[in-house]
C-alpha cells in the first residue's frame, strides 16, 4: 500500500490521534503557562526559601529527560483515582497524568522566559507605579506583566510549537495520540514508513498553523500599542 492508500483507509485513526494531540497540547500550554508564571514570580522573590525552591524546580525539570518525568509522575500519582471515562475519545485516567507531567516540564522553561521578560522591563516603570501609590502586586499585574508578556510572546509561541511535538511521548502510556494511532496503522499495514510520513506531515501542518496564529496575535498586540 502506498501513502495515499494508507491515509485513505486509516485516516480516521490519524484524525483521532491528531485531535488528542491538539487537546493535550492546549491543556499543557495553558496550565504550563500558569504554573510557569508562579514559578517565575517565586524565582524573583526576595524570600530566599521561595527563590531557592523555584530555582531547584527549574534545574531538576530542565535537567532530566521528559520521558523519565512522565513515568515518575504516572507511577507516583497512581494513588489518585483519576476518572475512568473518556472525553473526545481520550481516556482521562491515562491522559491526565501525562498532561500534569508535560505541564510541569513546560512550566520550567516558561518560567525562565517570563523571568527574563520581567527583568527586561525598565525599572523606571516599577518606580513610577510605586510613586503613584500602587502596591507591589498591583504593579506586577497591571504594569510589569502586560509588558513582559508582549516581549516574550514569540518565545511562548515557540514553547507551544515544541509541546505539540513533545506530546508524542505519551504514546508509551497508551494514550491514543497521533503517534499511538500511527503505530496501529503501521501494524495493520506492515508498512510503517508511509505512516511516519503521514504523521510527519500532520505535525508539520499543526506547527505551521500554530506559528501562524502566534504571529497574527503578536501583530495585533503591536497594533494595539499604537
Tens-place pLDDT, residues 176-196: 889 999 999 999 988 899 999
Average pLDDT over residues 115-141: 79
**What's the grid cell of residue 189?**
499495514
Q: Which one, of 203, 135, 133, lies nearest residue 166 by Cα?
A: 203
Name the pTM for this structure: 0.84
* Residues 46, 28: Cα–Cα separation, whole Å: 29
pLDDT band, very low/low/confident/very high, at 222 (cuts 50, 70, 90): low
**What's the grid cell of residue 106?**
513546560
Is the confidence at residue 11, as pLDDT, over 70? yes
User: What pLDDT, in 10s, does the model give residues 56-113?
Assistant: 999 999 999 999 999 999 888 888 887 777 777 777 788 888 999 999 999 999 999 9
Burial class (CB in 10 A: 0-12, 13-18, 19+), 183: middle
Question: Which residues make Cβ contacts (< 8 Å) with residue 20, sequence separation at least 6?
Answer: 88, 89, 90, 95, 175, 176, 177, 178
* Residues 109, 49: Cα–Cα separation, whole Å: 20
> Is residue 77 a contact partner of residue 88, using CB atoms and an 8 Å limit?
no
* Residues 34, 110: Cα–Cα separation, whole Å: 9
* Residues 140, 156: Cα–Cα separation, whole Å: 19
∠ CA 181-185-186 to the nearest 5 degrees?
110
Which domains are seen in the chain, by residue range?
Answer: 3-224 (1.10.3720.10)
* Residues 34, 185: Cα–Cα separation, whole Å: 36
Average pLDDT over residues 109-120: 88
**Residue 224: per-residue pLDDT:** 61
DSSP string, 125-194: HHHHHHHTT--HHHHIIIIIHHHHHHHHHHHHHHHHHHHHHHGGGGGGGT---HHHHHHHHHHHHT-HHH
DSSP string, 79-117: TS-----EETTEEHHHHHHHHHHHHHHHHHHHHHHHHHH
**Residue 153: per-residue pLDDT:** 80
> Is residue 183 a contact partner of residue 171, using CB atoms and an 8 Å limit?
yes
Amino acid at each position: 500500500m502506498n501513502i495515499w492508500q494508507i491515509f485513505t483507509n486509516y485516516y480516521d485513526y490519524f484524525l483521532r490521534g491528531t485531535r488528542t494531540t491538539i487537546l493535550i497540547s492546549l491543556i499543557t500550554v495553558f496550565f504550563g503557562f500558569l504554573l510557569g508564571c508562579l514559578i517565575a514570580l517565586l524565582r524573583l522573590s526576595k524570600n530566599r526559601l521561595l527563590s531557592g525552591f523555584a530555582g531547584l524546580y527549574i534545574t531538576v525539570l530542565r535537567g532530566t529527560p521528559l520521558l523519565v518525568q512522565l513515568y515518575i509522575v504516572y507511577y507516583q500519582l497512581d494513588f489518585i483515582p483519576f476518572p475512568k471515562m473518556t472525553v473526545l475519545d481520550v481516556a482521562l485516567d491515562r491522559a491526565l497524568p501525562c498532561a500534569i507531567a508535560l505541564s510541569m516540564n513546560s512550566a520550567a522553561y516558561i518560567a525562565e522566559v517570563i523571568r527574563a521578560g520581567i527583568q527586561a522591563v525598565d525599572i523606571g516603570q516599577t518606580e513610577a507605579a510605586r510613586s503613584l501609590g500602587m502596591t507591589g502586586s498591583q504593579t506586577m499585574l497591571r504594569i510589569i506583566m502586560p509588558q513582559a508578556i508582549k516581549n516574550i510572546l514569540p518565545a511562548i509561541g515557540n514553547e507551544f510549537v515544541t509541546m505539540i511535538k513533545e506530546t508524542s511521548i505519551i504514546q508509551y502510556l497508551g494514550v491514543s495520540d497521533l503517534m499511538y494511532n500511527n503505530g496501529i496503522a503501521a501494524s495493520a499495514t506492515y508498512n510503517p514508513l508511509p505512516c511516519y510520513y503521514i504523521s510527519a506531515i500532520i505535525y508539520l501542518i499543526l506547527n505551521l498553523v500554530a506559528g501562524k496564529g502566534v504571529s497574527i496575535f503578536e501583530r495585533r498586540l503591536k497594533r494595539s500599542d499604537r
